Each structure stands twice: as structure tokens, then as C-alpha cells.
Structure 1
Amino acid sequence: MKRWVWLGLLGGAVACTKVPERPPVETEDVCPGTEEMSLPTRSQSSLDAEDGSESVLITFRPRVSASAMASTDAFAEDARRVGAHVSHRFPRINTIAANVTPEARAALANNPDVLRVEPNRPVHAFGMPSLSPSLWQGALPPNTRGSTGEYTDGLKAVQAPQVWDANGDGELDVGAPSGTNIKVCIIDSGWDSRHPELAAAYIGGKDFLDGDDEPLDQGKVDGVLQWGGGHGMHTAATIAAQLGAGAHVRPGEEPNGVAGVAPTVSLLVARVLNVNGDGNTANVIAAIDWCVSQGANIASLSLGSVADSDAEKLAFEKAQEAGVLAIAATGNRGTNETSYPAGYDTVIAVGAVDSNSAWAPFSQYGDFVSLVGPGVGVLSATIVGGAPYGDVQAAGTRYASEPLEYTAVGVYTGKMVYCGLGERVSSCGQGATCDGFVALVDRGGGILFQEKARNAIRAGAKAIIIGNNTTEGGGGFTLTDPAEYWVPTTAVTLASTNTLKGLAGQDVTVDVSGLDYLRQSGTSMATPHVAGVAALAWSACPALTNVQLRAVLQESAHDLGDTGKDQKFGYGLVQAKAAVDLAKLRCPSPAP
């Protein structure tokens, strides 16, 4: 009887009371070259420095008769003298970021000029999906004509088309507020300059990871340059995607793509998250400072940490004093737990609701919640080709399928071979050939999908179909490791699996192509809906202050849950038409 180390799928493991000794490993014949291709590559890099140093934020007491810059330079020199390696200076908040050894940290703590030393805590994207082009130089005139098919459920839920397309003809109404002259700064994972949805909106960016002015959602993984998951692209397009600028969409969906809540805003992009959706406090502080320096009106942050930071809090206070309206996600733990920067008083904290305006169970809640926005199954732009779409065709029939996470993209037609559970290379039997075939593999058996795929590939498979063994659907599966060599791999429902088994031996086509739009869920997706509505209301009355605009958004929201402000919905679901009307009513000068 075979024993397997992994006894479960997608995190579900079966406990064993006794694990017997493993039998000798049998040697199997594999197709030439496939053994090397399917070996995973691992990075030996570590976030911990060899000398035991840690990254910290050091805040000093202001020095009398010295400018903020001069004081910060002096502080940095003080830190260097005790062995700190300074990486960032933040004159506005008398803070520097540095790597320090335990000895250096102790010396700084004893310095009477040091107010505090705190960790440069990690921050993460809220709602991260799984997965050197030229950067666009200069903005194009925005499109004013498209299709009402671009109006997503989220867009309609926040009333955006009612503001700039009141007659519903798919065109921007002349003179209607649509975000013009409002600068929105996205602090996230960067963007994809190849995507047409943001070509007219983008006016500049900064990459705080690579230290350049090209904030592309790209980075090296095990030495290989890869595109990220598109988190920043998705949030940016929710705000700024323009009409009629479609890219590659799923068959049957609107060819013009999607429209943003405020389709004529000016977009600034600050990249602080790597391709895995991870970042740190110092870069968030640097990014909000940069947004201020670029004249941003609104900062949208779909990221955070459950720990607060005094330095970060001060940075957002300074941003508010400079006139910026900061908006951030509450987080996706579904708990009564405050995340930051959403939890600071100077930031609008955004939770998520579904298409029925019901509270999303993943949305963090508490007294800090200000507003909610659509955050379940939100359709928006992603990295070009970053949303795989699967299509299986056999005997003239198409079968709906869902690609596995990290699948290769491509089209292959070949004889289909049934490989059972795929527990061995030999599972595909005599039908397998190194010249290529389509492997049909059952889900289950306590074997990870990546093991099934490796065995099929070693047997010669050029494409793989995973057959579900339950009625729950055909997807949500992963190949686990993005660094391995994979072939187009997609999953079908139980009903389709049973039909396809009867077609073994016939030619089957597996087509996994990359789409440019993706549905995602999270408070990350809700946050840009609120930022977009803020841009619409502000463009209706630019004379409003950021504090006045926040009041407009909260007072015009659609109350949900308990009457008045509550822990799950805050003041309610943000409403563009109501917010624009209230902004015009309160405008201290005639609204445009």
C-alpha cells in the first residue's frame, strides 16, 4: 500500500497516527529533458541580515534653530556614528529609516535626542491575486465614448454613471464631473504600462523598491524578472479606467473592457509592494510624502498592517495638513481588528460589501470603519495576459474550465489520455508518448496538483485537464510553485470529467490564454471605489478642503446595517450622485 507525505489539497491535511517506513523509491522512465524542467528552483536569500541587524524607523526630537532637512541630516550622522546604515530620510516627520545591529539600537535608545525607535514593520496588499516594456510618456486625451457594457456592478452600485452619463448612452456628458484635474495617487504594487485602460490617466510615478521613476509591477523571483499579480493595476483601473479602451476580455464579455469610477482623473502611481504583495513602512511613508510633493489630492492605499506605527501616523497627519485625502482598506481577516493606515484618524477606512450591499464576511470591522464599497467579485484591469482563461474542446463540444494558478499559457491539440489519479509517471499508461498528449487527471488521492502535473509532464503531456471529483465546480486550484516548468493546465467540473473520460483516445484541444481583466475580492477592491467617488465629488467643487470632502462622503453615504454609523458599514455605502450633489450645495464658490 502506497503512503504519501501530502495527505490533502489546498491546505487541508489528513492526520496520521503512524507513518510506516517508506518503501524503496522505484525508478520510472521519464521523457528526455522533463526531469530537469520540472525540478523546482528555490531562492536561498533571506530577509535577515547576516550580522543580525534589523530595519527600524528612528524618530528624533526636533532641533531648535535648524531646518527640517538640516536636522534630519544631523540625525542621520548621529545614527551612522553608532553603526546604523541609513536608507531613508523623512524631514517632515524628523525620522530616518536604517538597518541597525542590536548594539546600535541600544546606543540609539540611550541617546536623549531620540524620541523612539520602532520596527520598520512589513505591510501587505489586502486581496492579492496569484500570477522592460516601455513606460508611457505623457498623457493622452481621455476617451469620452464607450459602451454601457463597461459599467461594472460596482460602478453602478456607487452611482458613478449617474454622475457622468445621466442619459445612459455610453458617453461622458459634457460638463459633468468625471474627475478632471483631480490627482489620485495609488500606493500599491505598481502598474502595467502596456494596458490601454490607463494610458490617458497616467501622469507619473515612482518605484520605491527599485529607486527609479518606472513603477512597473515587476520584480525578480529567483533571479528571473516576472510580472506581479496586478494588485495595483486592478485598484488603479477601478478608479481611472477610461471609456472605450478595451483589451483582451473573456469571450462574451464587453469588448471595451471596464470604465473607472472617475474616468478622467490624473493618475500618480507609487510602487511600494513587491510582486508577492509585500512591502514595509518606510516605503509607505516615502510614498505618501512623494504623493504630497506631486500635488496629489487623494491617496488610495489597498494595503496595511495590523500593527500601528507612530512614524507612519505622523506622516499621514502631515499629508492631511498638506490637503491630501487619504483612503485605505480595513483588511481581510473578517475580525474586529484595526488595520493601519486605515485606523489612523486622518485616514478614511473602507470596508467591503457584496453585490447585494451585504457585509462581506472577510471585511475587518470596528469603530474605525468609515465607509464601505463594492469588494466582492469586482471586475477590473490586471497585468496584460495575467488572468488565464481556459477552454477545452472535444468532439465539437466546448467545456467550461478554470485554469490552475501558475499554469502556462498556450494552445495544444493532441490525443487525450486518461491518467487516473496521476500518482506516478506510469499512471498515463501505454497511451502516453513523449511526442505529446493531453492528460486527463482525476482530483483526489491525497496528492497535490503539482505532483499530478509533474508526473503527467514527465510522461510527455503537453497539456493537462484536472477533473473535479465533487459537484462544487471546476476550479480554485493551484500548481503551488510559480518557479517550476508547467504546461497549460485547466480544471473541469465533475459532469464534464465523466463525459471526457468517454472520449479518451480522441483529439482534444486545451486553450489557456491570458486575459487582461480579472475579478477579485477584498477590501482592496472596495477602497478605490471610495477614492473614485471622492474624485468625482472634488471635481464637482475643487474649492472644498479635504476635511470638508470627507464629511460630504460620509453624510451622503447610503446607510446600511444599524441606523447611523456602525462597526461593519461605518456611515454606509459611498454614493457618487449624492456626494456630487452635496458637494455642489456646500461649495464655497460657484461649482463648475
Structure 2
Amino acid sequence: MSVRPAQLLRLGLPAAMVAATLVAVTGSSGTAEVSAGTRPFPANLRPERASGPAYDAKSVIVQFKPTATTSARKAALSRVRGTPDVSVTSDVVTVTGDVPAAELLKKVNADPAVELASLNYLRRKSATPNDWLYRNYQKYLPYVRVNQAWDLTRSAGSQTVAVLDTGVDAGHPDLAGHLLPGYNTFNTALPPNDGDGHGTSVTGIIAAGTSNTIGIAGVAWNAKVRPVKVLDDNGNGSDANVINGINWAVRNGARVINMSLGGDGDNPVLHTAIKNAVAKGVVLVAASGNTGVSAPHYPAAYPEVLSVGATSWYGALTEFSTYGDTVDIAAPGFDITSTAPRAKTPAGYDPYWLGLSGTSFSSPIVAGVAALVRNKWPSFTPAQVMARLKATARDAGPRGIDPYYGAGMLDAYAALGGKWTTDFPVAGADGNDQPSRAVALTSSASSTFGVEGDVDWYRVDSPAARNLAVSLT
């Protein structure tokens, strides 16, 4: 591979030993840009919608007339060569025949002893979404037990979520019915359109139509979002934009605010706006940052804001996730799938992006769960919602609260009242567990992986670009 000066190498042992070079994640104004690996979803890979409801291919349900005698019922089954699963003395039986179900249904309907008959339709747990990208491309959601949480609640109710970002593609089919009027802090006469894509992706993670047979499943299932454009079409914005966005969202009924943005600098005016929002009962969630170092990232670093770090699908901290004492909780933020603006979708593709990476995409997962928690316990204060999410998190990394995962990995099911489950394996911090602490590599080196999830970083310094061969045994 070709490397630049001060190239970083990451050696890890998740399930199988692998080696990979660091992929730099950059963002203007602290946003998590759409990563270089982001790709649209080809329309020709979209599954065909089912032509009709599924049913058992060999059986039908038969309801006999109350006046039908036992002998009449037996005769009816004999004529169709049917076998009941219960005694024919029951008024309703499931009948299996030697012909396809549709043909069997016609035969039993023609019998004078039968009052009603129907195909034996198949049902499934209603909380399992039928969105065609959910099963294969959103496998990270079960790791934070969002799928189980939907068995407890699938409604954000009146807990409106404001997304402060680059705006939204208001006509996206997977966001239809989930968007409320928004606000454009750059020009209040214009709608909060999204010329970047970041905001549309963040919004989809929270509130894409769930179980609507298309696209992805939104975490908050049927949430309503107010899109607030505080970043321009290049992903840039100032604190003035963010402050105006927060104030507008509060005035217009937002109960949860997601901010997948940030940067350096502690601004007391911004902090005041955040404290005022919390005083009005609003929960604020923000991305911890993509710097890979421990410098505070604002607004996530403010104590009133729930700061979210990013992990892989399986709970390993990503190399880009900003860490430190201000991180409160972690959630998947690598290889995420979400909605994309139609204007940025090439012909032959559907308006979805695969491979999104950054804390920008872990934050809305937490914000969506926060909306579900608020709806279940509407009297909770913002501090109580934050405490609930942190207290029910699954410990990951060093035991207890740590600067990498905060309280641990989000556990949506436990947060909504489900049973506790096991913590993630210990992956304790050592001398080179983060990019900023990479060990200079000049020749061969050896390392011991103590537990699954342990990661060691190495740095190769070179005065000029050159080829480097790395052998991992």
C-alpha cells in the first residue's frame, strides 16, 4: 500500500485478526461529512414488493355452520380429501388437503356444511419492520436492541424531534408524513432545503417511515421531525445559526433536539441557549466529534447535552470518535445506511446512502430512542431522560464510566423497560489503544490481544511518500 508521512496503522482483533490503514474522517464546522466509502443504493437490487399477503400453501381455515352435523362435517372433508388439525366437532378448524391452498379454498367454500372459509394467512410480530433495507443493511440496530425496544413501544407520540443540520429533502418518499414545517436560519423566507445530504441522512435515521415496505426503518418509528437548517450546503455554519436554530426549535414545540455538528471553542452565548432549552424541558443530543482525540467538542461537551460517541456495529470504538470525560454514551456510527437527497441520487439508484460513518450518525440513533423514552414517561425532565439512557447502557471498554464509551453502549430495550442483558466484552485501555497514542513503528513489533475488541495503533513516520509492506502474523 502507498502511505503518506505519519501514516497510522490499526491492528485489531474483533472476530478475526485484521490489519487496516486509517481512513481520515474530516468535517467542516465539526460535522461528520459523508465518508469516502459512502455509496448510493442501486435500484436494481431493490427487492420486488410482495404481490399479496403471505399464506400457508397447504391449508385453509374452515368455519362450519352451527347446524352442520358431525357426519356432514366429515363428509365435507372427505370430498376435498382434507385432514383437520382438531376434531370436526369444533366450529373452526384448520384443514390440510392434497391440493394447493387456493384450490382447496374453492372446494370447501362450495360445500353446504361450510359457513366461512379463508386462506391461512401468515402473520409475524408487528414490531419487525418490512422496510427492504432493514434486514440486510441496518444490522447495527439489534446491537443496541432497538428491534426489541419496538416490542415495548413504537411511538414517539407528541415528542417532536428537531434536527439542526443542513436541512432536509422534504419530498423524500421515506420521510413522507414525518416532517413538520421547519426553519432556515440563513434565509427565513426559504424552506430548509438540503443541498449537502448530511441533514437528510440524519433525519432518516431518526424518523424514516418504519414498516412502510420501502427503504430503511427509522429508530423512532413514527416520529415527527422539524428540520432546522443551521449548516449551509457545504456543511458550514456559525454559532449564531445554531443558537437561532435552538431557540426556534424550542419555541415551536421540539421536545428532543439532535445536533450532529460541532467544533472547538466554548461559547457562553451558545451555552446559555442550551441551558434555556433544557429549562423548557428539551432533551439535547449531540455528536461527540470525529477528531479521534480528547479535546472537547462543542456543543456536545456541555454537561446539559448528551454527548454520543461512535462504535462499529459490534460495539468496538471507532478510530475517529472523539473521546474524553465529556462523552456520555456510545452508539453505532460506522457503515450506517440512511436516506439521501433525491437531487444527489444518480439515475438507476434509489435515494439512500450506504456506508455512512461518523458520530453524526450515532447521535440520531440515541436521539430517536430519547424520543421514545420521553413519550413513555412524558413527565421526565431532560436530566431524567439522560440519566435513564446512561443508567441502562451496556458497559463497554474499561469497566464503569470511561472516557471512550461514557456510560456504555446504548441499550434501547433496557431504556424502555426491558430486561437487562450482558455487558460487552472488556477491551481495556492500554498504551496505544487510540490513534493519538500510536506507537512509532521502525521495524518489527509484537503485541498481545487480551480480549475480543482490543485495538493497538502503530505509527509509521516517513520524510516522503513511499511504499510500505506490512506483514501481520
Provide the rounded CA distance (Å) in 2 between the counterparts of 1:558 and 1:277.
33
AA in 2 matched with 1:200? G
Provide the rounded CA distance (Å) in 1 between the counterparts of 2:130 and 2:349.
25
Work out which of the residue numbers 170, 181, 190 in structure 1 matches 2:158.
181
Provide the rounded CA distance (Å) in 2 between the counterparts of 1:536 and 1:282.
30
AA in 1 matched with 2:179? Y
Compute the displacement of 1:266 (Å): 1.4
> Could you tell me which residue of structure 2 aligns to residue 310 of structure 1?
268
SS at 1:203 equivalent: coil
- After TM superposition, list the pairs within 5 Å mapping 1:252-267 onto structure 2: 256-267=214-225
Provide the rounded CA distance (Å) in 1 between the counterparts of 2:364 and 2:29.
18
Provide the rounded CA distance (Å) in 2 between the counterparts of 1:195 and 1:144.
23
SS at 1:306 equivalent: coil
Matched, 1:127 2:85: no
Q: Deviations over 1:538-579 (max 9, x none)?
A: 111112111111110000001111111100000011111100
Compute the displacement of 1:177 (Å): 3.9
Work out which of the residue numbers 192, 195, 216 in structure 1 matches 2:172.
195
Matched, 1:346 2:304: yes
> Could you tell me which residue of structure 2 aligns to residue 250 of structure 1?
none
Provide the rounded CA distance (Å) in 2 between the counterparts of 1:336 and 1:368.
9
Q: Deviations over 1:295-345 (max 9, x none)?
A: 111100000112121111111011111111111111111011110000111
**Structure 2 CA distance for partners of 1:148 and 1:234, relative to 1, 3 Å:** closer
> Could you tell me which residue of structure 1 aligns to residue 148 of structure 2?
162
**Structure 2 CA distance for partners of 1:344 and 1:147, relative to 1, 3 Å:** same
AA in 2 matched with 1:157? Y
Provide the rounded CA distance (Å) in 2 between the counterparts of 1:359 and 1:292.
33
SS at 2:29 equivalent: strand
Compute the displacement of 1:144 (Å): 8.7
SS at 2:403 equivalent: coil
Is the CA contact 1:556–1:582 (under 8 Å) kept in the aligned structure 2? no
Work out which of the residue numbers 229, 232, 237 in structure 1 matches 2:199.
232
> Could you tell me which residue of structure 1 aligns to residue 362 of structure 2?
526
Compute the displacement of 1:213 (Å): 5.2
Is the CA contact 1:144–1:243 (under 8 Å) kept in the aligned structure 2? no
Is the CA contact 1:160–1:262 (under 8 Å) kept in the aligned structure 2? no
Provide the rounded CA distance (Å) in 2 between the counterparts of 1:523 and 1:243.
23
Q: Deviations over 1:72-112 (max 9, x none)?
A: xxxxxxxxxxxxxxxxxxxxxxxxxxxxxxxxxxxxxxxxx
Identity of aligned residues (%): 33
> Could you tell me which residue of structure 2 aligns to residue 16 of structure 1?
none
Work out which of the residue numbers 281, 288, 313 in structure 1 matches 2:246.
288
- After TM superposition, list the pairs within 5 Å mapping 1:425-464 onto structure 2: none
Provide the rounded CA distance (Å) in 2 between the counterparts of 1:207 and 1:329.
21
> Could you tell me which residue of structure 2 aligns to residue 153 of structure 1?
139
Matched, 1:324 2:282: yes
Q: Deviations over 1:476-528 (max 9, x none)?
A: xxxxxxxxxxxxxxxxxxxxxxxxxxxxxxxxxxxx74643332000001000
With 523-532 and 193-202 compared, the bigger mean Cα shift is at 193-202
Q: TM-score, normalised by structure 2?
A: 0.61
Matched, 1:379 2:346: no
Is the CA contact 1:371–1:573 (under 8 Å) kept in the aligned structure 2? yes
Compute the displacement of 1:363 (Å): 0.2
Is the CA contact 2:271–2:302 (under 8 Å) kept in the aligned structure 1? yes
Provide the rounded CA distance (Å) in 1 between the counterparts of 2:128 and 2:293.
42
Matched, 1:214 2:191: yes
AA in 2 matched with 1:370? D
SS at 2:264 equivalent: coil
Provide the rounded CA distance (Å) in 1 between the counterparts of 2:295 and 2:158.
36
Provide the rounded CA distance (Å) in 2 between the counterparts of 1:378 and 1:348.
20
Number of residue pairs aligned between Structure 1 and Structure 2: 306
SS at 1:283 equivalent: helix
Is the CA contact 2:143–2:314 (under 8 Å) kept in the aligned structure 1? no
Greater relative contact order (CA < 8 Å, ≥ 6 in sequence): 2
Structure 2: runs of 5 or more not aligned: 6-27, 39-125, 420-473
Compute the displacement of 1:148 (Å): 6.3
Q: TM-score, normalised by structure 1?
A: 0.49
SS at 1:319 equivalent: helix
**Structure 2 CA distance for partners of 1:212 and 1:568, relative to 1, 3 Å:** same
AA in 2 matched with 1:233? T
Is the CA contact 1:354–1:360 (under 8 Å) kept in the aligned structure 2? yes
**Structure 2 CA distance for partners of 1:300 and 1:526, relative to 1, 3 Å:** same
- After TM superposition, list the pairs within 5 Å mapping 1:439-518 onto structure 2: 513=349, 515-518=351-354
Q: Deviations over 1:327-371 (max 9, x none)?
A: 111111101111000011110111000012001110000000000
Q: Deviations over 1:418-455 (max 9, x none)?
A: xxxxxxxxxxxxxxxxxxxxxxxxxxxxxxxxxxxxxx
Compute the displacement of 1:155 (Å): 2.0
Q: Deviations over 1:154-188 (max 9, x none)?
A: 3222212212247xxxxxxxxx3431221100000
AA in 2 matched with 1:525? F
Provide the rounded CA distance (Å) in 2 between the counterparts of 1:345 and 1:517.
32
> Could you tell me which residue of structure 2 aligns to residue 355 of structure 1?
313
AA in 1 matched with 2:176? A
- Runs (4+) of structure 1 moved beyond 4 Å? 143-146, 512-515
Provide the rounded CA distance (Å) in 2 between the counterparts of 1:386 and 1:153.
25
Provide the rounded CA distance (Å) in 2 between the counterparts of 1:513 and 1:380.
14
Compute the displacement of 1:274 (Å): 1.1
Aligned-residue CA RMSD in angstroms?
2.6
SS at 1:268 equivalent: strand
